[in-house]
Structure 1
Amino acid sequence: MSRDVTPEVTPTDRAAAETVEQLIRHRLSHALGGWRGSIETALPTVAFIALWSWRQDLKLAVWSAVGVALVLAVARLVQRSSLQHVLGAVFATAIAAFFAMRSGKAEDAFLPGMLLSGAYLVGTVVSIFARWPVVGFLVGAGDPRAAEDPFAWRRDPGMVRVCSRLTWVLVALYAVRLSIQVPLYLAAQVEALGVAKIVLGWPLWIAGVAVMGWLLMRGSTPQEVLAPDTEPASDDA
């Protein structure tokens, strides 16, 4: 089997990393968003729950959430900063508003998020067993060469193994989220659903990233890049 014994990393990567775990930490720091994007994602939900708890008026609660999302988008435009996170919040708020207004039930505003979490849960599990772990794509996004070779990370068997372990953390996050939200949804606990959505959003991600960081700090997998036409050998994730 033909192998390239020199890891395919950029000079910046090479200076920052000697092991797969170090390289992943370096690249994820560039690929993940910051606090502002997380706050922008949570604020429409806060507005929805605040207005619903105060007035028990579904239309008012929905339009307040949509209004907050649009204000955040306008603020980004005025500042000429990235719309990546706020557009996600606008889109998610619009879908949630559609579901709630169509059914007339406030709890249905949270149904799209739960369906999405369910899809992500299935997708992350499938990605692990297909040896295309989701975390690998985040790592690849942090590679300066991503535009030319977005799947270069798959030629490192160690990278695939470590990213598979990290993707199991995502599986656990989605499972926890659904195990809490689904019973609340079935019981029509709107306020509790709002609190759960916020707590199970950024704070849960922080916990997940902390677990990933712990796994990365413990590991010391050597980098070993295969030739471009070689598929990584199958082994346990």
Structure 2
Amino acid sequence: MTSVDKPTDQVRQEGDSQQDSDTKAVTQAALLDAFGGVRGTVETMVPGLLFVMIYTVNRDLHSAAIAALSVSVLLVIVRLARRDTVKHAFSGVFGVAVGVAFALFTGNAKDFYLPGMVYGLGLGLAFFVSALVGYPLLGILLGPIFRENLSWRTRNPGRKKAYVKASFAWGTIFLAKAAILFPLYWWADTAQLGWVLIALKLPPMVLAVYFTWLFLAKAPPPIDVFAEMEAEELAEQAAKAATERAAAAERGEA
């Protein structure tokens, strides 16, 4: 049966199904690009894992710090050699470098993890507060990737609602993680804190990304403001060309 022979309702259902599939695919690709995917998250785990492993064995802050910083730089070099995206790797190097500098400055190996913990707490609060005030941080971060910028705020209320829900999910997960880690910072030793941090690295991130995908996949598709601007520019150019042709024709008749 061809599409001409199919009932109108069936054709419409198939079209809606295809649109939903395309929206989910675009959402998944955008999330992978924004958060680095599983590979990016694993790469951010490796330096911390190496740090806690070495420190657990020899209790030497300097060797553990040097190893963690060295492997984070090596991961960037590998990505550069393969011409892969390096933004997540560079952010990992920066985070490790700050942790190493802080731990060496205080002389407390546990402080290697403190900057990342404070950053996670701040990020959780930012997600939560931004959702409460109607400017969900996730929408601000993902808007350019979806080519919608901030059009979801005024032109796509269903999408704004999805961003609010997703931002609340991220905020809740980050704050719950902080509620576990900060008591351990005071009560546990460096090795114990490090292993808990490693264990809590990937699962919360995967859960947050899953909730984001779930909410956005059910939301209306993004409004491509870049395509709109390009269409407007082409229309202006066509109108200008038509005006010039009309003026040229009038001069020819005169």
- TM-score relative to the length of structure 2: 0.72
Contact 1:128–1:164 (CA under 8 A) maintained in structure 2: yes
Contact kept, 8 Å, 1:180 with 1:196, in 2: the verdict is no
Which runs of 5 or more residues in structure 2 are unaligned?
1-15, 224-254
Rounded to whole Å, the distance in 1 between the matches of 2:216 and 2:197 is 28
Q: Does 1:154 align with 2:153?
A: yes
2:131 pairs with 1:128: yes
* Aligned residues between the structures: 204
Cα RMSD, aligned residues only: 2.6
Query: Where do 1:185-224 residues align within 5 Å?
Result: 185-215=185-215
3-state DSSP of counterpart to 2:113: helix
More RCO (CA 8 Å, sep 6+): 1
Q: How far 1:169 sits from its partner (Å)? A: 0.7
CA separation of 1:17 and 1:130: change in aligned 2, threshold 3 A: farther
Contact 2:28 / 2:213 at 8 angstroms: preserved in 1? no
User: What are the equivalent positions in structure 2 for 1:106-121 lying under 5 Å apart?
Assistant: 106-121=109-124
Rg (Cα) greater in structure: 2
Q: Tell me, yes or no, if the aligned pair for 1:44 and 1:93 is still in contact at 8 Å.
A: yes
- Report deviation, 1:137: 2.6
Letter in 2 for 1:154: R
The CA deviation string for residues 49-83 of structure 1, in whole angstroms up to 9 with x for no partner, is 01101110001110010011111111111112111
Query: What is the letter of the counterpart of residue 191 of structure 1?
Result: A
2:171 aligned with 1:171: yes
Contact map agreement 2:31 2:213 (CA 8 A) in 1:
no
SS in 2 for 1:141: coil
Which is richer in helix? 2
C-alpha contact (below 8 Å) 1:31/1:141 kept by paired residues? no
Match of 2:41 in 1: 38
Which residue pairs with 1:180 in the alignment?
180
Q: Distance in 2 between matches of 1:197 and 1:48?
A: 12
Mapped contact 1:135–1:167 kept (Cα < 8 A) = yes
Percentage of pairs with the same residue? 27
Aligned to 1:10: none
The residue type paired with residue 59 of structure 1 is H
